Structure 1
């Protein structure tokens, strides 16, 4: 699949490069709380909007993880990045793994924040209806965000997350991405991949926390390591941006090949 150079922004001037892919609920601005804590002297960071989100909200597409991966590689080509690391938040981590499969010699490390595994994520019955209905229902989005942060965030915080999500995503893209990140399975293609992997999860995330990582990512990537953040749910870039930045920096300094 040919990629398209989508709206993106580069921060930093360092020689080491990291491309960041956002989660299902947020465009590239969902990383804004994290950005002030990143080391721009040592690293360069490229923040990309997926089709149907942010500045690419009106961009048509198939809205699949394969398309996200192809578009991200097109952005890297545009920037002249021959090799780089990829950080994916939630669904962004599933697309990051497809980038690894498509261009293994270019991807130095994978960093997953509350990352969706290559096998997808099981959603059945009422849970599936809740997620599928979130494309059109702000109330569904709020319920999902509240659950995946352990019911510990304030009403204004939840309302702000929902407002940003609704305003910066296309309902059509939002709904289509759900099928791709939750129901497609390519875990046999990534099994035993030797790439260094960092997995960062929140202790308050009931969906993609430590248990889920042991049943998926840590089984398939022999050089994966897991870091758990306290007082954090599914949205570490917003909930614990400084702690996440420190964790990312420590991994890149010591484990990047």
Structure 2
């Protein structure tokens, strides 16, 4: 994993923040001014095919991404750490837990993909599968998952970030990785503290879905619904997200 990984803070509690399908390590930037670097050491890695690792080859699987996260933690000297995962990153953080349960202090999912994947109907799959080649599909997905209510300027900026920070082939291959990978039997019953955050305007990974998955599998799980947010709480409600993440992690 690239040594130039983005970092915020040098506190005693290490936190690895894992980005989503449309993101990169840098997609967390709206959150950075609101983070407590005295208590926490945040790291914002890229997966293979994204950001600083855009040209790095890989298989583009959830297992590979999780193995890279663990390798980075080793390199940074993080014996035990917490994980924050947005969207696809929610699947990756749970794979890390499955692979190294004794090293994970706590999990926070932000509109996270469950360890069972995400079901699609035919039209939905066509929309998402076409996003690798068609920026219009990317824009439509971001608009849909934030409730068709946000500025076109913001939507265009999100699409631009996605195009500039992901390899097209890698982006395409990560779709079945997060949507069709099911390892929930490996994490079901884990006692790790878990908090999952649902945006009230997210039609796909909202509170109902998170309660039927995360809350059903993890006995120490809490679900919080964010008002005025859809799928991208780090952009839509960054102060509230930082407060919720650190309030939870600080207790563990």
When normalised by structure 2's length, the TM-score is: 0.98
In the alignment, the residues of structure 1 paired with residue 6 and residue 20 of structure 2 have an alpha-carbon distance, to the nearest angstrom, of 17
In the alignment, the residues of structure 2 paired with residue 8 and residue 48 of structure 1 have an alpha-carbon distance, to the nearest angstrom, of 5
CA displacement 1:121-173 (0-9 Å, x = unmatched): 00121110110000010000000000000001011111111111111111101
In the alignment, the residues of structure 2 paired with residue 138 and residue 54 of structure 1 have an alpha-carbon distance, to the nearest angstrom, of 18
Q: Which of 211, 219, 223 pairs up with 1:226? A: 223
Q: Which residue of 1 aligns with 2:62?
A: 65
Alpha carbons of structure 1 residues 188 and 198: separation in structure 2 relative to 1, 3 Å: same
1:253 Cα deviation (Å)?
2.1
Q: Which of 238, 241, 244 pairs up with 2:238? A: 241
Within 5 Å, give how 1:130-169 maps onto structure 2.
130-169=127-166
Within 5 Å, give how 1:100-111 maps onto structure 2.
100-111=97-108
In the alignment, the residues of structure 1 paired with residue 22 and residue 180 of structure 2 have an alpha-carbon distance, to the nearest angstrom, of 17
Q: Which residue of 2 aligns with 1:112?
A: 109
User: Are 1:32 and 2:29 matched, yes or no?
Assistant: yes
In the alignment, the residues of structure 1 paired with residue 115 and residue 236 of structure 2 have an alpha-carbon distance, to the nearest angstrom, of 25
In the alignment, the residues of structure 2 paired with residue 65 and residue 232 of structure 1 have an alpha-carbon distance, to the nearest angstrom, of 26
Q: Which of 34, 42, 45 pairs up with 1:45? A: 42
Alpha carbons of structure 1 residues 25 and 44: separation in structure 2 relative to 1, 3 Å: same
Q: Which residue of 1 aligns with 2:74?
A: 77
Q: Which residue of 1 aligns with 2:247?
A: 250
In the alignment, the residues of structure 1 paired with residue 153 and residue 113 of structure 2 have an alpha-carbon distance, to the nearest angstrom, of 27
1:6 Cα deviation (Å)?
5.9
Q: Count matched residues.
A: 252
In the alignment, the residues of structure 2 paired with residue 216 and residue 104 of structure 1 have an alpha-carbon distance, to the nearest angstrom, of 19
SS across alignment from 2:175: helix
In the alignment, the residues of structure 1 paired with residue 186 and residue 4 of structure 2 have an alpha-carbon distance, to the nearest angstrom, of 30
Q: Which of 169, 172, 196 pairs up with 2:169? A: 172
In the alignment, the residues of structure 2 paired with residue 51 and residue 199 of structure 1 have an alpha-carbon distance, to the nearest angstrom, of 25
Q: Which residue of 1 aligns with 2:198?
A: 201
Large movers: runs of 4+ above 3 Å: 4-7
Provide the aligned C-alpha RMSD in A: 0.9
In the alignment, the residues of structure 1 paired with residue 3 and residue 170 of structure 2 have an alpha-carbon distance, to the nearest angstrom, of 15
